[in-house]
Amino acid sequence: MIDLISGGNISLPGGALAIRVPGPFDLSVLITGEDGKVAGDGDFVFYNQPSAPGATLRADTVTVDVGRLRAGASRVTVVVSAADPAVPLGRLPAPTLSVTLSVTGSAGRCLARFTPPRPTHESVLLLAEIYRRGGGWKLRALGQGYADGLAGVARDFGIEVAEDDPTPDGGFTALVNAERSRSGAPPVTSDARLAAAAQAHATAMAAEGRLDAAPGPGRSGGVSLHQRIVSHGYAYLTVAEQLVSGPRTEADFLAYCLTDTRMGRTVRDPALAEVGVAHAPAPGGDIFWTAVWARPLTPHGLAAVASDVVALTNAERSAAGLRPLAGDPRLTAAAQAHSDDMVARGFYSHTSPDGRQPWDRAAAAGCTHRGIGENIACGQRSAAEVVQGWMNSPGHRANILKPDFTHLGIGLRGGGEMAMYWTQLFGSSG
């Protein structure tokens, strides 16, 4: 195995390569031709688009088979960013890339390893590139950083990125980040999808002359703010909103939010990474404001929140003298599918619209547990809040503290009328 430094390169043998970057990172690759540009959006492989001809992403490893790349491809660039967009790369350990000759059924042979200098202000790193040279392929270590995130990378590699007004929210984000800096919270970025959802909701509220986050039929078009967020293409792990009428400017709106304990806590919340704000005039001259704050959904973030729910559940069991519950991927798949279904089909029940019950969903996911139990909840914005809510409810508490249960799966999904939908699916093995 060769330890590379920035700019160092090695020749590669034939065969598929497994490229791994362990840790709290999101891995992606860009496939380009001789001009250094992608042929289309399909050449960008990341967690939401995990495969392309010759490249497949699974968890922290991307497998590249240069013999199967699309026609005209001559370079594969490996990109890494923080899995949690609220955490700067500079606060994380330097990522280490390893390249292994992929051999089915064995560990393979490690060819090279590269750890770049620890980033400072950069949010994305180009770690390495696999490139055609003559009749063969080589690997070069890079370590090039981007301060403007994946958008900067995308532009340089030829992916179309819509050009936004540099201050689309009238300077609101700059004002917010100044306040967050004073409290020690990381900065947020403005997101056009959140802003569009905020604008649609502010306009609807202004037309009706009322503040409302989750309206019933006939109010604000019968569409909740959280449904608007999802319909604009934004999937979130957690969300918060501020609905206000009266202020005339962005600065006035922020100042008003900071006078309210709950809204001020949202402004300074380090768990929130992106924001969109909008306002609309009412017929009577009042101004209606909507601000949406969120952390985007990522596989790493989803797993972390689910793990927190399991840990908090097991803490309650431990306090009651009960053995902890073990995670179960099949229960998790069934629980996640139910949370997804409640958001997608707009219901909140243990019984699906097609009549399926928790044990039916568990069986469909391949579970063989003798006993099945289910807790659901909606509206809570954190693992701690949802577990506490379940413990305050006798029926849900009984499931959490049932001695017979041995395994647990967690599902959660943002959207719908109530913002967040949670599922706990329990199983007993004996």
Q: Which two tokens stand for residue 50?
A: 């995990």
For residue 89, pLDDT beyond 80:
no
Maximum Cα–Cα distance for the chain, whole Å?
Answer: 73
Q: How confident is the model at residue 117 (pLDDT cuts 50, 70, 90)?
A: confident
Distance of alpha carbon 169 from its chain centroid, rounded? 23
**pLDDT tens per residue, range 13-25:** 888 999 999 998 8
Place of tokens 């490249």: 55
Contact 190, 173 (CB under 8 A): yes
pLDDT tens-digit series, residues 287-319: 999 999 999 999 999 999 999 999 999 999 999
- Check residue 197 and give its pLDDT: 93
pTM: 0.63
Of the pLDDT bands very low, low, confident and very high (cuts 50, 70, 90), residue 268 is: very high
Tell me what the mean pLDDT of segment 70-84 comes to. 89
**pLDDT reported for residue 104:** 56
Q: Give pLDDT tens digits for 144-182.
A: 877 666 666 777 787 765 444 444 565 899 999 999 999
3-state helix, strand, coil in the chain (%, to 5): 30, 30, 40
pLDDT band at 101 (very low <50, low <70, confident <90, very high): confident
Of 76-85, 141-150, 400-409, highest mean pLDDT? 400-409
DSSP for 126-187, please give it. Answer: EEEEEEEETTEEEEEEEEEEESSHHHHHHHHTT---PPPPSSTTTTHHHHHHHHHHHHTPPP
pLDDT in tens, 165-224: 444 565 899 999 999 999 999 999 999 999 999 999 999 999 888 888 654 444 445 689
pLDDT, average across residues 56-85: 89
Q: Which of residues 166 and 99 earns the better pLDDT score?
A: 99
What confidence category does residue 103 fall into, taking pLDDT thresholds of 50, 70 and 90? Answer: low
